[in-house]
């Protein structure tokens, strides 16, 4: 759909109909096709919704440039983009919204400017910073969240945030999450309906761990140039420069590792250690493939468009497919399937419930009340907030150190609105509560 949405040329100056550019989209938005959802209200209302729905997009890198362009060309008109990075000269080969003069500027700002200039009528609001800077209130304003992030940690954070925001009473608190990711010739597009379907945390094992060579191979029988670099990185640095923290962006550090690796390679008769390879291995750089980004971005934006308009069945509804994987390294292969929700998922296994507490009651009293909860009797609860270990039943050393908290008042230990995570050996799932102090 993103493809059909591409205009063949800019609309002629002074074109009478402002929707000329969108005539291909309008075919989908106004005609009742066989796949259109029966509840879809085609025409004006749907066009209107597409143009007013706020979409958040995070990660304006290689995949991100594609996604942002596609979202704007799919008819979304109120897009917010978050990225903390600045443009590096090495981005320019594939991150096509950036030019040489932009090097050093914020990716979010430049990407927003560029797309806004090329696609008239779209407003893109950039934020240069981390997704973690923003709170629930910020995320609450969006209808959809699309991610093209390169880190698993950031994905898990946004996932946990969106799952945690869901309030059963308010359907609008459920923000569909569309996640795209690429690694070389492989990629995936998936849709999460927080709390309703399998979440990023449920799917954590879908991310192949970084392939690693046994430490003893590195230490004793290196066979490849990469082994020599890893050895310099993990072992030699620790032996000789223990007191310096390795900074993979510091050329002096990379040069040092490169020279160490090179002399080790020479010792073992291994060829091929270069500075660029050292940088690649140490920073774990997997070459980005522009076509993979384009394919995955198109899939993500198709899902965004379908979710927003109900004009076609989309990924992500309960008991339907929610995960599309793509592999382009030997032929082209895609597989779409339903990743099942994990009953004991630490993030979506239990929905945070509001827990009304008296600020003057003690932690012990709270624990006792857990044992009497009708839905799940927690006889041996372990409990923490993000910042504080409130009480741990085990291990023994932690029990001892957290025991003094039992007699403290709750108001001394937790803040209003903070989340409590409660585990109990009798339950696989982690229970989560949001503290609301009674006045």
Q: Which is nearer to another protein, 77 or 105 (CB)?
A: 77
Q: Which does 307 bind (CB under 5 to 8 A by kind): Zn ion, another protein, none?
A: another protein
Q: Which is nearer to Zn ion, 46 or 200 (CB)?
A: 200
Q: Which is nearer to another protein, 135 or 372 (CB)?
A: 135
Residue 202 touches Zn ion, criterion: CB under 5 A: yes
Least distance (Å) from another protein to the CB of residue 104? 28
Q: Which does 43 bind (CB under 5 to 8 A by kind): another protein, Zn ion, none?
A: none
Residue 201 touches Zn ion, criterion: CB under 5 A: yes
Residue nearest to Zn ion (CB): 345
Residue pair 39/63 in contact (Cβ under 8 Å)? The answer is: no
Residue 67 touches Zn ion, criterion: CB under 5 A: no
Question: Between the CA of residue 188 and those of 296, 330, 397, what are the distances in Å?
Answer: 6, 16, 43
Least distance (Å) from Zn ion to the CB of residue 199? 3
Q: Which does 370 bind (CB under 5 to 8 A by kind): another protein, Zn ion, none?
A: none
Q: Which is nearer to another protein, 125 or 334 (CB)?
A: 125
Q: Which does 348 bind (CB under 5 to 8 A by kind): another protein, Zn ion, none?
A: Zn ion
Burial letters 230-250, b for 16+ CB under 10 A, else e: bbbbbebbeeeeeeeeeeeee
Is 300 part of the annotated catalytic residue set? no
Site size toward Zn ion, by CB under 5 A? 6
Least distance (Å) from another protein to the CB of residue 395? 5
Least distance (Å) from another protein to the CB of residue 52? 6
Using CB under 5 A, which of the segments 74-82, 191-199, 230-238, 332-340 binds Zn ion?
Answer: 191-199
Contacts of 368 (CB under 8 A, 6+ apart): none
What is d(CA 62, CA 416) in angstroms, rounded to the nearest whole number? 40
Write out the binding residues for Zn ion, residues 342-361 only, by CB under 5 A. 345, 347-348
Catalytic residue among 216, 300, 301, 348: 216
Least distance (Å) from another protein to the CB of residue 430? 5
Write out the binding residues for Zn ion, residues 378-397 only, by CB under 5 A. none
Q: Which two tokens stand for residue 309?
A: 């308009």
Q: Which does 297 bind (CB under 5 to 8 A by kind): Zn ion, another protein, none?
A: none
Least distance (Å) from another protein to the CB of residue 254? 21
- List active site positions: 216
Which residues in this chain contact Zn ion in the complex, by CB under 5 A?
Answer: 199, 201-202, 345, 347-348
């Amino acid at each position: 759909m993103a493809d059909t949405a591409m205009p063949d040329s800019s609309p002629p100056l002074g074109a009478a109909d402002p929707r000329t550019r969108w005539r291909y989209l309008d075919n989908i938005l106004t005609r009742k096709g066989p796949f259109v959802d029966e509840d879809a209200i085609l025409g004006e209302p749907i066009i209107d919704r597409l143009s007013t729905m706020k979409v958040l997009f995070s990660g304006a890198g290689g995949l991100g440039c594609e996604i942002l362009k596609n979202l704007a060309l799919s008819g979304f008109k109120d897009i917010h983009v978050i990225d903390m990075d600045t443009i590096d000269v090495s981005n320019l080969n594939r991150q096509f919204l950036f030019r040489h003069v932009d090097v050093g500027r914020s990716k979010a700002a430049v990407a927003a400017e560029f797309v806004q200039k090329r696609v008239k009528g779209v407003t893109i609001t950039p934020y240069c910073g981390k997704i973690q800077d923003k709170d629930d209130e910020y995320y609450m304003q969006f209808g959809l969240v699309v991610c093209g992030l390169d880190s698993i940690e950031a994905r898990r954070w946004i996932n946990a945030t969106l799952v945690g925001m869901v309030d059963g009473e308010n359907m609008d608190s459920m923000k569909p999450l569309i996640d795209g990711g690429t690694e070389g010739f492989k990629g995936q597009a998936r849709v999460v309906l927080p709390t309703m379907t399998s979440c990023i945390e449920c799917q954590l094992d879908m991310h192949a761990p970084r392939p690693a060579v046994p430490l003893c191979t590195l230490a004793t029988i290196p066979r490849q140039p990469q082994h020599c670099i890893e050895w310099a990185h993990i072992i030699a640095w620790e032996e000789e420069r223990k007191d310096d923290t390795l900074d993979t962006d510091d050329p002096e550090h990379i040069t040092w590792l490169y020279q160490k690796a090179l002399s080790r390679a020479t010792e073992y008769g291994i060829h091929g250690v270069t500075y660029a390879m050292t940088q690649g291995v140490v920073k774990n750089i997997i070459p980005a493939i522009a076509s993979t980004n384009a394919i995955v971005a198109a899939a993500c934006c198709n899902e965004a468009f379908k979710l927003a308009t109900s004009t076609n069945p989309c990924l992500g509804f309960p008991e339907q497919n929610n995960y599309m994987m793509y592999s382009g390294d030997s032929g082209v292969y895609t597989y779409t399937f339903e990743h099942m929700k994990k009953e004991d998922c630490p993030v979506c296994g239990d929905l945070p419930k509001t827990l009304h507490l008296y600020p003057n009651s003690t932690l012990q009293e709270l624990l006792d009340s857990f044992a009497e909860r009708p839905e799940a009797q927690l006889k041996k609860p372990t409990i923490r907030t993000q910042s504080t270990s409130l009480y741990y039943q085990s291990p023994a050393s932690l029990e001892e150190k957290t025991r003094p908290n039992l007699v403290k008042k709750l108001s001394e230990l937790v803040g209003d609105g903070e989340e409590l995570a409660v585990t109990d050996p009798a339950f696989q799932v982690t229970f989560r509560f949001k503290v609301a102090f009674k006045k």
